[in-house]
Each structure stands twice: as structure tokens, then as C-alpha cells.
Amino acid sequence: MKRKLIIIMSLMLLVVFPTVAFASPITTDFNTAIKYANSDISARYKYKGTFYISKNKNNLPLNANTWKKYNYSVFAYGDPHGTKRNGENRYLGYTLFGEDYTNINFAMDAFNPTKRMEDRNWITYPWDDDRVQETISAQGENPILDNEFNALPINQILVYRGLSREKDENGNPLPMGSGAKTEPWHLYVHVLQPPTEYTSGIGRMWHISNGTVWYKTVYLPQYSEIFTPVDPPKGEVPGFKGELGGGGGFR
């Protein structure tokens, strides 16, 4: 039986500085960046077909201006939207699947600096959780859908590294203890933009506090920041190897 909960709506997003959130670009040409990303995603994740296409499921185009503004890293469809704070919209656009793409640079709604990140009541497999779907629906967002990039073991490392680099709006590191390194983050994060060898990704997690569902946008470092290639790159994509031990799949 599906859970039916009445949830007091509230959302949380911890702020991270733009210079930390997005990796250095490998190219400043939009079409070249799309080509590189698609090549990596096809080989690394065994994705069938072309991931970044000209328009998403809602017929919205990839936004080159958003990509350029956020250090040539954000592949979002449509335009930024939602509440605006300090010049930043809550959402940068939409994903390929029509989900709202949350902005990691949007100022936090609320934050408890004394509670460690790993001690929060995180929701596993949020794409299958009625509480999450009801919460985002009440906020006016589109539903989130499971995808090929969710629940991969490698995401555990990526989320931990991303959280470790993040700072709150006062410039302090997020509170984390020794348990954060082994927390199963990959079961909590819904991937909005998959990271590649040369492009960072973005994910989103949800937790419950005092009966309320809150969300957290997460930076996912590019693979080149986590793994050192063991042999020369192959193919036309800089830094991409297309094999296990370098840029291979992580199923």
C-alpha cells in the first residue's frame, strides 16, 4: 500500500560557492562540450542512444547561456526559474526527463549547523518514495524518475567528495564525522546531471526532520578528480579512456 502522508512543505538547499561547484572547463564551445559529454556517457554508463539531445521530453532546448554562465558545466534545458535570491534562481532549468534542475548556488532555506550530514534521516531510493514525490508535487515541481545513473556504487564516493568540498553560507565546512566516509550516499542521491571525465555532475537528496521533507542539492566531482588515468587517453575525447580502470562503466 502506498504511503499517504500530509507533509508540511518546506525545502532546504545548502549553498556552495560557484568556484567550488563546477570544475574547470575542457572546452568553451557548446557543441563540442555536448559531443564530449555524450561520448563519455555512452561508454562509461553504457547509455543506449544519445543522452544530451537538442530538446527534452517537454520540447525545451538545451540552454547554452546557462551552460556558459555556470563555468561551461551545466547542461540544463529551458530557462532558470523559481524563487530568486541573491541573483540566483532556485532552478537552473530542467533535465532531459523534464525534472526541475535545482541550483546548488541558491541560498539555503534553513540549516542546522550542529547536526552532522551522515546523522540526518536520509530517504533511500527517493525516486520511488511517495513522501518525496508528494513534496515536490506540492512545491509545483515535476515528478522525479529513476534513471541509469542512480544507485551506482561510485556515487557513494562522488557524493562524499562533493560534500567534503562544500561550505555553508558562512564559509564553514559542512558538519561531518568519520561515519560520513562510509555512509551509503549512493542510495540517497538522485542524479540530475551525470558526471563525466571532464564535467562535474549534480544530484539531489532528501531527508526528514521533525516530520518535514527537506532537500539537498549535491555536487558530484568529475571523474578525473577522483581517478588518475593509468594509461594514455584513447579516442577523440580528451582524458577519456573508455575502459575499466579509467573511464569504464560502474554498474
Cell 554508463, residue?
45
Contact 94, 60 (CB under 8 A): yes
**In whole angstroms, what is the distance from residue 78 CA to residue 81 CA?**
9
Note whether residue 243 is domain-resident: no
Note whether residue 38 is domain-resident: yes
**In whole angstroms, what is the distance from residue 38 CA to residue 197 CA?**
11
pLDDT of res. 236: 44
* Residue (of 46, 18, 12) closest to 219 by Cα position: 18
pLDDT of res. 22: 54
Note whether residue 3 is domain-resident: no
Note whether residue 1 is domain-resident: no
How confident is the prediction along the chain (251 residues), in pLDDT tens digits per residue? 434 333 333 333 333 333 344 556 778 899 999 999 999 999 999 999 999 999 999 999 999 999 999 989 999 999 999 999 989 999 999 999 999 999 999 887 877 888 999 999 999 999 999 999 999 999 999 999 999 999 999 999 999 999 999 888 788 899 999 999 999 999 999 999 999 988 899 999 999 998 999 999 999 999 988 876 544 344 444 433 332 222 221 21
Count the domains in the chain. Answer: 1
pLDDT of res. 237: 42
Contact 190, 150 (CB under 8 A): yes
Taking residue 248's Cβ as centre, other Cβ atoms within 10 Å add up to 14
CA distances from 62 to 54, 88, 98, 221 (A): 6, 19, 12, 22
- Total-model pTM: 0.83
Note whether residue 73 is domain-resident: yes
Rounded to 5 degrees, φ, ψ at 91 are: -120, 140
Note whether residue 247 is domain-resident: no
The residue segments making up the domain with residue 178 are 18-225
Q: Is the dihedral of CA 13, 160, 116, 145 positive or negative?
A: positive
* Residue 172 DSSP one-character state: P
Note whether residue 233 is domain-resident: no
Note whether residue 150 is domain-resident: yes
Contact 43, 248 (CB under 8 A): yes
